[in-house]
Amino acid sequence: MRSGRSEVLVLGAGVAGCALAHHLALRGIAPVTVYDPNPPAAGASGRAAGVVTEQLWSRFDVEVTRESHREYAEMCRRWEPAAFFENGFVRVTRDPAVAAILTEALERWRSFGVNVDAIGAETLARRLPAGRFDDIAGAVLSPYDACVTPSSITTIYAEAARGRGVAFDFGQPMTDLVRDGPEFVLRRGMGELRARTLVVAAGAWTKALLLRLGHPLPLVPYRTQAALLRPPGAGAEEFPTIHDLDTDLYVRPEAMGRILGGDGTERVEADPERFVAGGDDAFLAHLADGLSHRLPGFAASEVLRAWAGVCTATPDRRPLVGPVPGVDGLFVMAGFNGFGIMRAGGVARRLADHLADGASEDGPPETLAPVWPGRFTLPHPPFVPRPGFTLEAGDDPRC
């Protein structure tokens, strides 16, 4: 497409933008264009681990993740069955004080309707024969949690949207993004894209794009890492994803007997245009230590690949989904704090409903209230990203 006018222009073809395009198309909103200077899943969505768990901070998180889970199961069953499997999610600790907090979290998750139970060392050892659990003080298992291949679900959403008429505009660098009367205008290589409704769903680039439009929101991009490993011998059988609370490492099964391990949050701002994209030695050393203690059967694994990606933090760890305050027609869907794969489907569905309902300015619908961008007083002071996989309750007012 050289130039064109859309009802909705979505910036970003990661899992968020593609899921939103799909849901807009399902609701008959047209024409919709998704613009990305890169191919789909070029950002964090092509670098994520794809863990989908309901052991989360708040009721909102649990509900949107459950919606995503159902949708990913259904869409992958239809288009790429190997891209989704339910293997369960385990959290373990050897620290009695952390075990007490884990027990509190277990009660909270149950109050949100999460299927989760305490699990003993012997049962764990049966589920995870590569592990060593004789020192644990506490462990919980949510047996229906899952893994999805992040690039696959992004592509599935994009193709489903394309099948319903959404236009995708890839690969041409943006030269300008401005407001022209009631419309937003994006200029790139050849021609321009215009729309009255602009949704910025550009992951770690969202901060700079909103700043460019003159409407900054509190977002901080940060780097996080993962690695793909091949255990010795025949490789790993399917096992529950395990998160070791003492080291903050998680490990999940991957196709062909491989395993995927990752860690949490770097507490400094990263630039998505200029970050170190490979995994660093300190991360690999930490992963090796964690495996030799907790998963000794995987300790002699060969590292096939290690990489980093850039996620986006918000001050309260809830995403920003809805209208940018004070700007008619400008919306945001970003700030997933490292959990954007599991949140995207549910959040996209809710934002698409809101846009289809006419996106009234009367305040947030209940479905989006905890993530409404207007909850912050602006300008917001600088803040540091907080770690991802923690046990405390979120600051969701509905908790």
Ligand X SMILES: Cc1cc2nc3c(=O)[nH]c(=O)nc-3n(C[C@H](O)[C@H](O)[C@H](O)COP(=O)(O)OP(=O)(O)OC[C@H]3O[C@@H](n4cnc5c(N)ncnc54)[C@H](O)[C@@H]3O)c2cc1C
Q: Which residues form the interface with ligand X (CB under 6 A)?
A: 11-17, 35-38, 42-45, 47-51, 174, 201-205, 209, 224-226, 262, 309, 311, 334, 336, 338-342
Distance CA 28, CA 25 (A): 5
CB of 226 to ligand X, least distance (A): 4
For ligand X, give the closer residue by CB, 99 or 321.
321
For ligand X, give the closer residue by CB, 132 or 162.
162
Distance CA 140, CA 127 (A): 13
CB of 55 to ligand X, least distance (A): 12
- Tokens 């008619």 correspond to 328
The answer to whether residues 358 and 334 touch, using CB atoms and an 8 Å cutoff, is no
For ligand X, give the closer residue by CB, 75 or 341.
341
Q: Which of 105, 94, 143 is nearest to 241 (CA)?
A: 143
Distance CA 241, CA 102 (A): 17
List the 146-148 sheet strands across, edge first.
51-52, 146-148, 84-86
The two most distant CA atoms of the chain are separated, in Å, by: 66
CB of 161 to ligand X, least distance (A): 13
For ligand X, give the closer residue by CB, 202 or 249.
202
Parallel, antiparallel, or unpaired: how do β-strands 146-148 and 51-52 relate? antiparallel
The answer to whether residues 333 and 200 touch, using CB atoms and an 8 Å cutoff, is yes
CB of 60 to ligand X, least distance (A): 15
Strand partners, 220: 313
191: left (phi > 0), else alpha (psi -120 to 50), else beta?
Answer: left
CB of 137 to ligand X, least distance (A): 25
For ligand X, give the closer residue by CB, 132 or 212.
212
Give the dihedral sign, CA 275/280/286/287. Answer: positive
For ligand X, give the closer residue by CB, 47 or 108.
47
